[in-house]
Structure 1
Amino acid sequence: MRKDIEIPKVENSYIAAVKEWDKDFTEKQWNVYFINNREDTIDTVLVLSRGKSEDKKTSTLRHNLGNIAPNTAAKIEFITSEVLAFTNEYLVTFFAENKLYERKFIFEPNSISEKNSIKIPILESEGILAK
């Protein structure tokens, strides 16, 4: 029975943190995005986010991003500086090609920092990709 279950591998989909100007807070904030770098639209994108350290944890948040067009990104949330030292997890599920895809993305503690930034093509800015 188990050998008959196909678990598709998530490819060309990413979670990235980008530091952007926030006019409400009048400072730069880290925003987390889901990036669809696939050639097809993905449906019903659901993201669960949570953070944890050795002695603390954040609330679990659930985000419904809906459908995401090919080669675009959708903002999930902003991430406060207080939790950058935590392990931050993003569990993503979506439908594509009539299959359910699922993957966990992780930002290691203190990995979200400007010194670790790389060019994020779809967003056309500097940021950090989750593992």
Structure 2
Amino acid sequence: MIKDLPPNVVKDIAIAVALESESVESKIWYVYLINLQNQPLENVLITSKGYGEKDGEQVKTSTLRHAFPVVDANSFKLVEPIDEQTFGLNNEYWLSYYIGREIFDKKFIFLPESIVDDNFIKLPIINKPGVMIR
């Protein structure tokens, strides 16, 4: 149960949506987990889903689950590709991981239309343009 988890604060961890490549026909986007800490993350679990309203109807995407045994210090992991058509939805990433014997957990939500050129930064460690939530 969530209420049974200790109130450990997630710091120096980010979820980012990066523009991988761009052509006249399309853009290719990927979601990354970025570990900005000086220690590795262990037993990392991420669930992702999209939800919201599109054309006046409620829409939900499938829930995807991803697991990584270790995410090294000051590194990143590719989580999944993301389709531009979902940028009008809430894109939620729920992250859980261990550092030693302590569990950490945080929900990251990219709000509708937040993944736009105006919000781009140069993503740390990945060195690509994109949008990041810490």
TM-score by length of 2: 0.86
Letter in 2 for 1:51: G
Deviations 1:40-68 (A, max 9, x none): 01101110000001310100000012200
Q: Which 4+ stretches in 1 moved above 6 angstroms?
A: none
Q: Does structure 1 conserve the Cα–Cα contact (< 8 Å) formed by 2:49 and 2:92?
A: yes
The aligned residue for residue 80 of structure 2 is 77
TM-aligned CA deviation for residue 97 of structure 1: 3.1
- The answer for unaligned runs of 5 or more in structure 1 is none
2:113 to 95, 110, 114: 110
Equivalent residue, structure 1, for 2:67: 64
- Equivalent residue, structure 1, for 2:33: 34
RMSD: 2.0
Q: Aligned residues, how many?
A: 126
Any unmatched runs of 5+ in structure 2? none
TM-score normalised by length of structure 1:
0.88
In the alignment, which residue of structure 2 is the partner of 1:7?
A: 7
- Displacement of 1:118 in angstroms is 0.8
CA distance in 2, matches of 1:95, 1:112: 29
Residue identity over aligned pairs, in percent, reads 34
CA distance in 2, matches of 1:5, 1:57: 28
Q: Partners of 1:71 and 1:130 in 2: how far apart?
A: 16
Give, in whole Å, the separation in 1 of the partners of 2:106 and 2:49.
14
Q: In the superposition, relative to structure 1, how do residues 121 and 82 fare at CA in structure 2: closer, same or farther (>3 Å)?
A: same
For 2:116 and 2:79, locate their aligned partners in 1 and report how far apart those are by CA, in whole Å: 18
Q: What is the CA-CA distance between 1:120 and the residue it aligns to?
A: 1.1
